[in-house]
A = this chain, B = another copy of it.
């Protein structure tokens, strides 16, 4: 314990209270500081310009919510004897460390990057915590030699105490609560707002993990809906997804060129070579951040390759592709036609068209359900008592989009030669949807 607690100022939680030297030391490691240079929401800031917050700020937020849960549990439900299903406060430190570090393996534009280069941020998180080469591992080892593995096991959900695991990862955990509130705050929308203090008040430890007092049912319901709304309105925004498609095709183009030995030498190649080859070290991985990748793209503005150059410019200067909705039925009929029309207009359709499916299961009915506690100790499952959550249960909500150059929609074509293709293209579209 620190002699006197320290605080970080945080716009979401007002203050974040640091009470252990270990937590302070973890924050000061280079692996954790690196999270300052990785945006939490990647390309979303191209749509919601306020959303420039980093994974650093989310990580300390998850820590803070976990700390408050521990405080509340310790104050109201302290364990009196082993296996009484109440809270054992000697678990606090491992919970706090796991909360703080749960995302430490994230890289720049993780989602897209992983897809192209087969990296995996969850594996990297485990490695950063358990590999003796890292500063984080060194800090954790000072607690005890086995401590790094213990923290890592909470994050990969194999830890023995389900209360600790569920604080950090479950259908209603500190991670999700922080990102909904934080992403709402920074985008400037309010869809992700729910009643955090009320939810904390109705949370309770039990032998199987964490449950919620039934009197708080509507607050839990409100959280589920907020999460659903954030997915539909923020995370699945078509323009951000378009920028993701561009990023993905840009990285793919670079990789394709590299594999054909056509990528120019230089800085960008040096940084990315281990990933093109899918043989990278932890050190290679940790060197990358948003700024490094953007700098690679900046250097490709001047590439000899027309496509690489164009996609670098599109990404940096924000020239999104246009998109239309489709579904499995219209896809089989129309997508190939549309790609061909794009191709006819002189675009390489492998790069200049693309699809993106974004679906979320707002509430999945499985063993890890949210459970409500009746007065007499009975547990009831949330979707069984909430009409609203019931309506969303096991429903995969989202959409599928086809991306293409916005020139295809030009009504007054400047190039007479493509006019027939444009006209044909438009016939496939009604109400922003492919028919």
Residues of A within 8 A of B (CB): 4-5, 7-12, 14-15, 28-30, 33-34, 36-37, 45-50, 52-54, 56-57, 60, 76, 185-191, 193-195, 197, 201, 214, 218-219, 221-222, 225, 228-229, 232-233, 266-267, 287, 289-292, 294-295, 298, 313, 316-319, 374-376, 378, 387-388, 390-392, 395, 397, 430-432
Chain B residues contacting A37 (CB-CB under 8 Å) are: 291, 294
Q: Which of B290, B317, B375, B376 contacts A30 (CB 8 A)?
A: B317
The answer to whether A14 and B49 have CB atoms under 8 Å apart is: no
Q: Which of B185, B195, B318 contacts A28 (CB 8 A)?
A: B318
Q: Which of B12, B36, B197, B397 contacts A387 (CB 8 A)?
A: B397
The answer to whether B52 and A52 have CB atoms under 8 Å apart is: yes
The answer to whether B186 and A11 have CB atoms under 8 Å apart is: yes
Q: Which of B4, B46, B188, B229 contacts A10 (CB 8 A)?
A: B188
The answer to whether B14 and A188 have CB atoms under 8 Å apart is: yes
Instruction: List 13 additional contacts besides A9-B47, A387-B391, A391-B392; criterion CB under 8 Å.
Output: A5-B76, A11-B188, A14-B188, A29-B317, A36-B45, A37-B291, A193-B193, A219-B233, A228-B388, A290-B291, A374-B431, A387-B392, A388-B391
User: Oligomeric state, in number of copies?
Assistant: 4
- 14 interchain pairs, CB-CB under 8 A: A9-B48, A9-B49, A9-B50, A10-B50, A12-B50, A12-B188, A15-B201, A28-B319, A36-B49, A49-B60, A193-B193, A267-B267, A291-B294, A387-B392
A266 to B295, CA, bound (A): 14
Chain B residues contacting A232 (CB-CB under 8 Å) are: 218
Question: What is the chain B residue whose CB lies nearest that of A12?
Answer: B188
Q: Which of B53, B298, B391, B431 contacts A390 (CB 8 A)?
A: B391
The answer to whether B431 and A375 have CB atoms under 8 Å apart is: yes
Chain B residues contacting A375 (CB-CB under 8 Å) are: 431-432
Query: A181 CB to closest chain B CB, in angstroms?
Result: 11
Chain B residues contacting A432 (CB-CB under 8 Å) are: 375
Chain B residues contacting A185 (CB-CB under 8 Å) are: 11
A346 to B18, CA, bound (A): 33
The answer to whether A33 and B397 have CB atoms under 8 Å apart is: no
Query: A70 CB to closest chain B CB, in angstroms?
Result: 15
Query: A197 CB to closest chain B CB, in angstroms?
Result: 5
Question: What is the chain B residue whose CB lies nearest that of A45?
Answer: B36
The answer to whether A9 and B187 have CB atoms under 8 Å apart is: yes
Chain B residues contacting A52 (CB-CB under 8 Å) are: 36, 52-54, 57
Q: Which 4 A-B pairs have the closest CB atoms?
A: A391-B391, A291-B291, A11-B188, A267-B267
